[in-house]
Structure 1
Amino acid sequence: MAQEQGETQDTPRLEDLIPDEAVENPEDWASRGVPSDTVDDTAQPALEADAPLAEMPLVTIPWPEDIELTDIQPLEPDDPPVEFVTFDEDVPQVEMGSDNRLSDELVLVFPSDESLFPVRDEFLERFEGLSTIEELDDDNNIARLAAQARTDEELLQRLLRVYGYFDSQIIRSVGDVDAASDAELDVPAVRFDIIPGPRYTIGAVDLGNLAATGSDYDELRATYEVFPGDLISLDAIENEQFDLDEALGESGYPFAAIEAPSLLVDHARDEGDVTMPVEPGGKYNFGSVVSTLPDFLSSEHLSMIARWDEGDLYMRSDEMDLRRAILATGLVGSVELTPVVVEEPTAGEPGVVDIRADLTKAPLRTITAGIGFGTEEGIRIEGSWEHRNLFPPEGLLRVRGILGTQEQLAGVTFRKNNFTGRDRVLTLDAYASTIDYDLYDARTISAIGTFEKKSTLLYQKEFSWSAGLELVATQESERDIDGNTLDRQTYFIAALPLYAQIDESNDLLDPTEGFRVSARISPEISRNNDLATQSFYVRNQVDASYYQRVSENVVLAGRTRLASIPGVDVNEIAPSRRLYAGGGGSVRGYGYRQIGPLNDAGVPTGGRSLVELSAEARIRTGYLDGLLSVVPFVDAGTVGLEDTPDFDTVRVGAGVGVRYHSGFGPLRLDVAFPLNPGPNDGWIAVYVALGQAF
C-alpha cells in the first residue's frame, strides 16, 4: 500500500493485529472475550494527588427491577377549579350552498341561507374586479395559484370587514378537486368557503362639535346617514362624510372642517363606534366679490356675474359656479376664490364673507385656422384673429375670413360677454361675401346684431335663446337651362331672427344620452329693387335629436328637421333665403344644397318646405385604446315648392364613418353614397369635420 507523507516503517499492518485463531474460528474466538493478560494497566496515566478526580467515587447503576420509585403525590386543584367547555351537539352547523364559479381557477362558496350574507351579489362583483387570480393569466401553475390565493384571502377578509363582518371565517383550498362535487377539474383551482359570521351594527356616533350649528343641527345631522343600530358599512361611513361636508358648505359654513371617520370595533357587543370630528367654523352670508385685477376684470363685473346677491346665505356651489364662469370667459388662466371674513357671526345672526378672486391672466390674442373638404363643396379654408378683452371687461374683437371653392368672405365681429347679466352675450357682426353655387351666385353685404344666451364648449346650458336684427343687401343671379348667369336681382332684406333650444343631452360635442329640441322663427321683409316688389314671409325651422346608449359601446342617435316658408311664392324669395337640403350636416351622399325641385337644367331651385331624417349607430371599437368609433348611418330628405312638403322626391343616402375621440371632441370622417341619385349627383361623397354630425 502506498504510504502517506509522515507515516513510519514501524506501523503494524492490519493482518498482523488479527490472531490466527480468530481467522480460523471467528465465533469461538469472539465468545472467549478479551484475555485479562492483554489489558495494559499502565496504559492509563496516574492522576496527581491534587487532581480533581484523584479519588473517583464508585458508581453503580442497578437494573430497572431493583429501582424503587417513590409515590407521586397528586397536585392540589386550582381555586377556582378549571372548567372545560362541553359543546352542545344540537347547535346547528352552517350549511354551505352551491358554488359561485368566477372562472376555471376560482370558486367561492357561501352559506345556503342567503339571509346570513345578503350582500352576496355586490360582494362577488366587487371581489371579482379586485382578485389577483382573476387579473393574471391562467398558466396552470399551482405554485403561482397558491401565492395568489393567499393574497385573495386577505382581500376577502378586508371586503368582509367593509360590510361589517368582523368575525368571519375563510377556508382556502388549492388543488385539482372541486370539493363540492368531487369532480376533476381541467386546471388547478382555488376554492374559498366563506362563513361570514354575525354582521356588526353601529354603536355610538360622535360627530365632534356639530351641535354648535344650533338650529341647523337636526338638518345637518340627518345628512350623515349613519345612525346607532344601522348595519355597519365602511363605504357608507366614509361616503356620508362627503354628504355632510356638502351640506355644511350649502348651509352657510365656508370654514367647516371634517376629519376622516374612524371605527372602534367591540367584539363583545358585536358593534362599532364611529368617531368623526367636525368643526363647523361659523355661519356666514355672502358679501361682494373682490378682484385682485380690478382694471382687467373689475369687482363690480365679477359681482354681477355671480349667481348671488349681497346678503344671501353662503353656498359653496355658488362659489364654485362663479369660478367656472370666470374660467369660461377665456380671459384668465387660473382663478382661486377665497372667503374672507368681513363680519363675525353674532348671537343668532350669520357673519359676512367677501369672496376674494385671485386671477392670473391668460393670453388674450388668438389666431385660428381650419380647413375642410367636401366632394361637392370643395375646399374651404377659414382663419381668424381675435383679442378677447380689447374693450374691458370681456369686449372681444374678431376679424375672420373664408377662402373656398364656392365661398369667399371677410368679416369683423364685436362681442360683449356677460352683457347686462350672467351668460348674456351681445354680438355685432358685419361681413361681405361672394357665393358661387350651381343654381345661383350672390354678392352680399350683411349686418347682424344678436342678443343671446347659448351653450359653449365649457358651459352647456339646458335652455338657450337668441333674438336679433339682420339687415342684408344682396345681388343674386340664377342660371338658365344652359348654365348661363341671368340678370342680377338686388334684394334688400330685414329680418328679426328668433331662436330657442332645450338641451337635455349629456355632452355638447359627443352626446350619448338625452335629447335636444330647437326652433327658429324669422319674420322677414324682402324688397326686390329691380322688380319694385315687396314681400313679407316667415322662415320657420324645428330641429329635434335623440340619443340613447344601448350598451357600453353602442349609442343610437336620430335627428329630424322640419322647415317651412309660408306667405309668398318661391320666386319672390331671394335664392339665398330659400330652403335646400344635402351635405354633411343634412343628407349625406349628396352635394351641398343639391336636393330640391329642379329647373330644366336639372339644378335645384330651392323651395319653401323641407323634411330631413337621419339615424346612425355610434359603435366604439377597441382600436387606438378605444378612441376609434365606427358609425354606419342613413339619411333622407325632401324639399318642396309649397309651404307643406309633398314628398314627391325623397333622396336617401347611406354610408359609414369613423370618429377619433380627441380631448376636445370627436374628429369626423364620413363616406356616403346616394341611394337614388339625381342627374347631377356623384356616386360618392366624403365629409371631414369636428364633432358628431348632429
Structure 2
Amino acid sequence: MAAALALLASPFAQPAAAQERQDTPSLEDLIPDAAVDNPEEWASQGVPASDEADVDAQVPLEADAPLAEMPMITVPWPEDIDLPQIAPLEPAEQEIEFVQFEDQIPRTVAGSEERLSDELVLVFPNDTALFPQRDEFLERFESLSTVEEYDDDGNIARLAVQAREDEALLGELLRVYGYFDAQLQRSVGNVQTSVEADVDPPAVRFDIIPGNRYTVGAIDLGNLRAAGDQYDALRRAYDIQVGDPISLDTIEAEQFDLDRALGESGFPFATIDAPSLLVDHDRDEGDISMPVEPGGRYRLGEVISSDPDFLSSSHLTQIARWDQGDIYRRSDEMDLRRAMLATGLLGSVELTPVVVQEPTATEPGVVDIQADMTQAPLRTIAGSIGFGTEEGIRLEGSWEHRNLFPPEGMLRVRGIAGTQEQLAGVTFRKNNFRGRDRILTVDAFASTIDYDAYDARTASLIGTYERVSTLLFQKAFSWSVGVELVATQESERAADGRDLARETYFIAALPLYAQLDNSDDLLDPTEGWRLSGRVSPEISDNEGVQSFYVRSQVDASYYQSVGENTVLAGRVRVASIPGAPLAAIAPSRRLYAGGGGSVRGYGYRQIGPLNNTGDPLGGRSLVEVSAEARIGTGFMDGAISVVPFIDAGSVGLDPTPDFNTIKYGAGVGVRYDTGFGPLRLDVAFPLNPGPNDSWIAVYVALGQAF
C-alpha cells in the first residue's frame, strides 16, 4: 500500500510504451482467488516459477491510468483513531514568589531588616549573638552582590536571575564564617514600606537563619615538629586552636603567617601546601589539614655575584643588611634585592639560597645567596625646563654613566642655561660607599648668577659623605658631612642701580646636616612630622680681611589628615648667621627669602632689607611660616587636589630674627598625582608687596612645597 501511494504521488512517473501496456497482467492475474480465501496458506507456497523475461516485462502503471482500475484503499481519518491519553505532568515547584513583602510573606524567623538599597533587603535574627559578624558580613556581601552591581531599572525578570546568584553568594559567605548549616529563603516581589505608601519597584529579600557556627576540631600541620626548638614559636605564629570558631579567612591568613614565620626563623627551604577543611556535620566541627615541611635551619653566608666584574661579591655582601653568621631571614633577602635594583644598574635580580653546609642536630647549616642579575642601560641623557615669573626660564641638561668606575662609581656632566643662572659642572658619585646607603660625592662646577641683589662669578669644589632619604628608601634619620671650597667674585647693586666694584672672596666651610623624619611619604606626606638642622662653620678671606661666622638653620614641618581627602600642613624655618658683620659676608652666603619653596607670591630671594633702589641686600637672620590645606577632589579619579595656602617671612640685618618687616603671600595651587609624586602648580599674590614686587607669581615643580 505504501509503495502504491508513493507512486501515485510521484511527479516523475512516465507513461509506458503501447506494446508494454498490451502485455501488462491484470490484478486478478497477480492475486488469485486462493490468495484472497486463505492468504497465509497461499503465501507459504512461495513465488511461482517464472522466467526473468516475464519479471523484466513488468512495468509500473501509467500515471494517468483511471483510478477506477486501482483497488480501493481506505485509511481512517485521524479523528477516528483512539490515541492513548498522556498522563498530565506534575507542575514544577515554584522558585520565585512575586508577592508583597510586608503583607503577604510569612516571616520564617522573627528578625530585623537591613535594607541595602531599594532592590535588596536582608533579614537577620533579632538576637545579634546568633550572628555577631553581621556588620562585616553586610559590607562584604554588598560589595559583591550582583543586585547591587547593576542599575535599578525595575525589571523583575533581571532581578529574579540576580537573586539566584546572590543566594549562592550568601551561602558561600556564610560558609566562610563557619555557618555550614545555614538556611536561606529567597523572595522576589514588590516592597511596601507602609500601609499608606504606594508600591515601590520590585526588590529581593533574603531571610537568613545562620544556625550553629562550626568550630575547629583536629589540626594537622604535617611535619612542623621537625623544626625542633623553633616549633613552639612557629606554632604560636599559626594562631588557630582547637575549639576556635571556623573562619576560612583566618585559615588562609594563618597559612601566610606561618610561612612568614618560617622564612624569618631560618628556614629558607620550607614548603607549605594549601590547607584543607574536612567538615563533620555530626560534630559541628571542621578538621584542618595543612602539610608543612620546614626543611633545615640555616645561617647566612656571603652573597655570590654572577657578574663580579660589574658588581663584586664583596660589594654585594657589604650592602646586605645582615652579618655573616646571622640566622637566615627572608626579609633580609628581599631587602637586598630591592637595594640592588635601587642602584639603577640592574634590569633584573634573582636571589637563590645555596647550601654551603648542611645543618646538624644541634647547629644550623649555612647558605650563601646566589645573585643572578642582568645589566640595565648605564648611560642617561636627561633634560628639564622650568619657568617662574620672577626667576625666568631655566634649562638644565646632563649626561651620566652610572658605573664608569665599578662598583657604582658614577660620572655626570651637567649644565644650566637660564635667565638668571648659567652653570657647567662635573660630578663624581660613589653609591653604597663603605656602607649601605652611604654616598660619597665630589662636585666641581663654575657658575654665573645675576640676581637683583647681586651678581656672582663662582668656582666651587664640594665633597660630601651622606646618608639621606631616597625615593625608594625613606629614612627616619638622615645625615651629611662635607667640605666646601669656594672662590667667588661678587658685586652688589649701588643705590642708582649700578654694579659696584667686584670683590673676591675665598671661602672654606664644613657643612653639617641632620634630619629626623616621622612622615609617611617623602614627596606627598599626609601624617607625621620632620625636623632638620644645618650648621656650617665658615671662614672667609676678602681682600686680605679674614672673617669667621656660622651659618645655621632649623626646619620643622607637621602634617595631619582631616577626614578622608584633606591634609593640613604647616612649616617653620629659622636661620641665623652670627660671628661677622653683614659686609664681611659674601652676598651669596647671606640669608634671603621668597620663591616657590619659601614665601610664595614674591620673587626668588626678593624678601629682605632693601637698598635705595629697592633691591634686597640679604641678611643674617630669617624666619618663615607656611600653612596650607591639601584638599582632594573627585576629578580625574581623585588625581587632582586643590591647595589654598598662606606664607609669611622676614629677613633681618642682625643675627636675631626681625619681625618688623614681615612679608605675606597667599594663593591657591593645584596638585596632580602622577603616582610618582604630585606635580605642583601654585599661583600666589603678595599681600603687602614692595615697589619692585609683581602682583602675581606662578610656580611649577615636582613634589609638595614642603
Classify the TM-score, shorter chain: 0.7 to 0.9
What's 1:483 paired with? 497
Distance 2:473 2:312 in 1: 22
Verify: 1:581 aligned to 2:574, yes or no: no
Using the TM superposition, give the Cα deviation of residue 628 of structure 1 relative to its aligned residue in structure 2, in angstroms: 2.1
Please point out which of 546, 558, 561 is paired with 2:558: 546
Task: Tell me by how many angstroms 1:147 deviates.
Answer: 1.4
Matched, 1:525 2:539: yes
Matches within 5 A, 1:591-602: 591-602=603-614
Alignment partner of 2:436: what SS?
coil
CA–CA distance in structure 2, aligned partners of residues 427 and 398 of structure 1:
11
| Cα distance, 1:49 vs structure 2 | 11
Matched residue, 1:256: 270
For 1:432, the equivalent position in structure 2 comes to 446
Paired position in structure 2 for 1:510: 524
Q: Which residue of 2 aligns with 1:15?
A: none
Distance (Å, rounded) in 2 between the aligned partners of 1:480 and 1:340: 73
| SS of residue in 1 equivalent to 2:630 | strand
Q: Which of 404, 421, 435 is residue 418 of structure 2 equivalent to?
A: 404
In the alignment, is the contact (CA less than 8 A) between 2:191 and 2:200 conserved in 1?
no
Alignment match, 2:260: 246
1:684 and 2:696 matched: yes
Pick from 344, 351, 361 the counterpart of residue 375 of structure 2: 361
Contact persistence 2:191–2:201 (CA under 8 A): no
1:107-159 Cα offsets, whole Å, 9 max, x none, are: 11211111111111111111111111222111111111121111111111111
Aligned CA distance change for structure 1 residues 181 and 442 (closer, same or farther; 3 Å): farther
How far off is 1:182 after superposition?
A: 9.3
Residue 91 of structure 2 corresponds to none
- Per the alignment, residue 455 of structure 2 pairs with 441
Of the three residues 216, 219, 225, the one matched with 1:202 is: 216
C-alpha contact 1:337 1:358 (8 A) present in aligned 2: yes
Q: Deviations over 1:275-295 (max 9, x none)?
A: 111111111111111000000
Equivalence for 1:36: none
Q: 1:354 to 1:49 in 2, by over 3 A?
A: closer
Are 1:661 and 2:673 matched, yes or no?
A: yes
Partner of 1:561: 573
Equivalent residue in structure 1 for 2:618, among 601, 606, 616 = 606
In 1, are the aligned partners of 2:485 and 2:508 still within 8 Å (CA)?
yes
Alignment partners' CA distance in 2, 1:185 and 1:433? 81
Post-superposition shift, 1:564? 1.2
Q: Structure 1: give runs of 5+ residues left out of the alignment.
A: 1-5, 7-45, 52-92
After the TM superposition, which residues 327-476 of structure 1 pair with which residues of structure 2 at under 5 Å, given as runs? 327-476=341-490
Could you tell me how far 1:189 is from its partner in structure 2? Answer: 1.6
**Residue 621 (1) aligns with residue 633 (2):** yes
Amino acid at match of 2:646: V
Partner Cα distance (1:504, 1:182) in 2:
60
Kept after mapping to 2: 8 A contact 1:95/1:113: no
Superposition deviation, residue 47 in structure 1:
10
> Which residue of structure 2 lines up, in the alignment, with residue 570 of structure 1?
582
Cα distance in 1, alignment partners of residues 371 and 390 from structure 2? 51
Amino acid in structure 1 at the alignment position of 2:356: V
Partner of 1:324: 338
Amino acid corresponding to residue 416 of structure 1 in structure 2 = K
Matched, 1:501 2:501: no
How far did residue 181 of structure 1 move? 7.9
Task: Write the distance in 2 (CA, Å) between the matches of 1:658 and 1:535.
Answer: 45
- Determine which of 570, 577, 602 is the counterpart of 1:590: 602
What is the deviation of 1:407? 0.5
SS of corresponding position for 2:637: helix
Stretch of structure 1 that moved more, 443-452 or 125-134: 125-134
Q: Which amino acid aligns with 1:308?
A: W
Q: 1:661 to 1:144 in 2, by over 3 A?
A: same
- C-alpha deviation, 1:351, in angstroms: 0.9
For the residues of structure 2 that align with 1:359 and 1:49, how far apart are their CA atoms? 100
Deviation at 1:463?
1.1
What does the per-residue CA deviation read over 1:541-572, in whole Å, with 9 as the maximum and x for residues that have no partner? 11122222223322222222111112222222
Q: Is the 8 A contact 1:94 1:111 kept in 2?
A: no
Structure 1 stretch displaced more, 454-463 or 316-325: 454-463
2:654 is the alignment partner of 1:648:
no
Q: Which amino acid aligns with 1:97?
A: G
Corresponding residue for 2:248? 234
Residue of structure 2 equivalent to 1:31: none
Q: CA–CA distance in 2 between the matches of 1:179 and 1:475?
A: 86
Secondary structure in 1 matching 2:314: helix
Distance change (3 Å), C-alpha of 1:185 and 1:504: farther
Amino acid at match of 1:247: A
2:310 is the alignment partner of 1:296: yes
**Structure 1 position 318, deviation (Å):** 0.7
Aligned residues of 2:123 and 2:207 also touching (Cα < 8 A): yes
CA offset digits 1:317-339 (Å, max 9, x no partner): 11111111111111111110000
Assess if the C-alpha contact under 8 Å between 2:429 and 2:441 holds in 1. Answer: yes
Q: Identity over aligned residues, as a percent? A: 75
Q: Deviations over 1:549-608 (max 9, x none)?
A: 223322222222111112222222111111111101111111001111111111111111
Inter-partner Cα distance in structure 2 for 1:342 and 1:458: 32
In 2, Cα distance between the equivalents of 1:413 and 1:181? Answer: 83
**C-alpha contact (below 8 Å) 2:192/2:200 kept by paired residues:** no
Asked whether the 8 Å contact 2:573–2:623 carries over to 1, the reply is yes
Does the Cα contact within 8 Å between 2:595 and 2:604 map onto a contact in 1? yes
Write out per-residue CA displacement over residues 331-385 of structure 1, whole angstroms, 9 at most, x where no aligned residue: 1111100001111111221111110000100111111100000000000011111
More displaced 10-residue stretch of structure 1: 407-416 or 145-154 = 145-154
Give 2:180's aligned residue.
Answer: 166
2:150 matched to which residue of 1? 136
- Give, in whole Å, the separation in 1 of the partners of 2:705 and 2:377: 31
Q: Secondary structure at the match of 1:186?
A: coil
Give 1:514 deviation, angstroms: 2.0
The separation in 1 between residues aligned to 2:353 and 2:408, in whole angstroms, is 25
Q: Provide, for residues 89-117 of structure 1, a one-character-per-residue CA deviation record: whole Å limited to 9, x for no partner.
A: xxxx9853332111121111211111111
Counterpart-to-counterpart distance in 2, 1:566 and 1:102: 68
Unaligned residue ranges in structure 2 (runs of 5+): 1-7, 9-35, 42-106
How large is the Cα RMSD of the aligned pairs?
1.9
Q: Deviations over 1:481-500 (max 9, x none)?
A: 11110111111111110001
Report the more deviating stretch, 380-389 or 181-190.
181-190
Q: Residue 26 of structure 1 corresponds to which residue in structure 2? A: none
Matched residues in 1 for 2:653 and 2:225: separation?
74
Which residue type is aligned with residue 444 of structure 2? A
Instruction: Measure how far apart 1:668 and its partner are.
Output: 1.5
The 1-side partners of 2:532 and 2:199 are apart by 62
Q: How many residues align?
A: 607
TM-score, structure 1 as length reference = 0.85
Whole-Å separation in 2 of the counterparts to 1:650 and 1:170: 71
Residue 232 of structure 1 aligns to a residue whose secondary structure is: coil
Cα distance between partner residues in 2 of 1:50 and 1:331: 105
| Superposition deviation, residue 446 in structure 1 | 0.8
Retained in 2: the 8 A contact 1:99–1:180? no
**1:664: how far off?**
2.5
TM-score, normalised relative to structure 2: 0.83
Distance 1:534 1:547 in 2: 43
Deviation at 1:270, TM superposition (A): 0.8
Please tell me the residue identity of whatever aligns with 2:407: P
Contact residue 387 and residue 393 of structure 2 kept, 8 A = yes
**CA positional deviation for 1:186:** 2.7
Q: Quick check: 1:98–1:180 contact (8 Å CA) kept in 2?
A: no
For residue 466 of structure 1, report the CA deviation from its aligned partner: 0.3
Q: Which amino acid aligns with 2:238?
A: Y
Q: Give the match for residue 59 of structure 2.
A: none
User: 1:89-238 residue pairs with structure 2 within 5 A?
Assistant: 96-178=110-192, 184-238=198-252
Output one character per residue of 1:190-236: Cα deviation in whole Å (capped at 9) or x when no partner: 12221111111111111111010011001001001111010111111
